[in-house]
Amino acid sequence: MVGKKIAGWKGKLLSNAGREILIKAVAQATPTYTMSCFKLPVTLCDELNSMASNFWWGQKEKERKMAWVSWDKLCTPKMEGGMGFKDLKTFNLALLAKQGWRIQQNPNSLVHKVFKEKYFAGGSFWEAQVGHRPSYVWRSIMAAKDVIMRGSRWVIGNGESVHIWEDRWIPNPDSFKVVSPRGPSIDVVMVSNLINRETREWDVDLVKNTFLPHEAEIVLGILISPRLPNDSLV
């Protein structure tokens, strides 16, 4: 369908602005629904990207046109010198990651209940694996699981769900992970171990003894609700 649309445009006189709008609003928007449910083969994504690139450079029929700038460069934001086109492989993973996030965030939804029963009955979405003979939808969502994990972090409530050294929870935009070397204590593993249950505040001495000075200050700057609600993933 995308190929037919592009072929129908090539015979028309279009400005660069016109080609840009058609690529963004039609050519790259047409497969959006499919890409939000299934992971497209890499070869198909490359073919669609190639069609859009050829159309951008003014190819008509089967003639060859010089591509003066690589497609990867054209896919960068305009403020960085590109055109803001979508790289379909990356966009595909982003859409699938959005579906995975919805499954994780809505445990009462039908899709969550169905997938949980079949693929992660004994644990959470984060512990789920592709499994044996999975559906193509589930295999596609699992392909984007790493994208979800790299794009999420914990907001501290009671600290019981957050691992100090492995999870992303420090409000440090570089990685959101602890960089301080792990100490010898085997009792300080979860963030909840750093919270004084009586005062419902950080155990200041323990925090300072556990982290490097600059990181200890960051941790102590995280506000703790006296209600100690459950940790939340954002």
pLDDT in tens, 46-85: 988 888 888 887 766 566 666 678 888 888 998 988 888 9
Q: How far apart are CA 129 and CA 80, in angstroms?
A: 37
Tokens found for residue 132: 């044996």
pLDDT at 156: 95
* Average pLDDT value for residue range 168-185: 87
Q: How confident is the model at residue 2 (pLDDT cuts 50, 70, 90)?
A: low
For 181, which DSSP code?
P
Q: How confident is the model at residue 155 (pLDDT cuts 50, 70, 90)?
A: very high
Q: SS3 of 122, please?
A: coil
Best-predicted range by mean pLDDT among 19-28, 50-59, 125-134? 125-134
Q: How far apart are CA 185 and CA 174, in angstroms?
A: 26
Whether residue 192 has pLDDT greater than 90 = yes
Ordered DSSP codes for 9-50: HTTS---HHHHHHHIIIIITTTTHHHHTTS---HHHHHHHHH
Which residues make beta-bridge pairs with 190? 163
Q: How confident is the model at residue 17 (pLDDT cuts 50, 70, 90)?
A: confident
Least confident of 71-75, 161-165, 205-209: 71-75
Q: How far apart are CA 189 and CA 165, in angstroms?
A: 7
Whether residue 212 has pLDDT greater than 60 = yes
H helix runs in 145-203, sequence order: 145-150
Q: How far apart are CA 177 and CA 169, in angstroms?
A: 6
Prediction pTM value: 0.77
Q: How far apart are CA 131 and CA 176, in angstroms?
A: 30
* Average pLDDT value for residue range 104-109: 92
Q: How confident is the model at residue 118 (pLDDT cuts 50, 70, 90)?
A: very high
* Average pLDDT value for residue range 180-202: 89
Assess contact for 2 and 27: CB atoms under 8 A.
yes
Which of 90, 28, 78 lies closest to 53 in space, CA to CA? 28
pLDDT at 61: 59
Q: SS3 of 148, please?
A: helix
Whether residue 206 has pLDDT greater than 90 = yes
Whether residue 11 has pLDDT greater than 60 = no
pLDDT at 10: 57
| Position with higher pLDDT, 173 vs 121 | 121
Q: How far apart are CA 58 and CA 61, in angstroms?
A: 10
* Average pLDDT value for residue range 112-141: 91
Q: How far apart are CA 83 and CA 159, in angstroms?
A: 43
* Average pLDDT value for residue range 137-143: 95
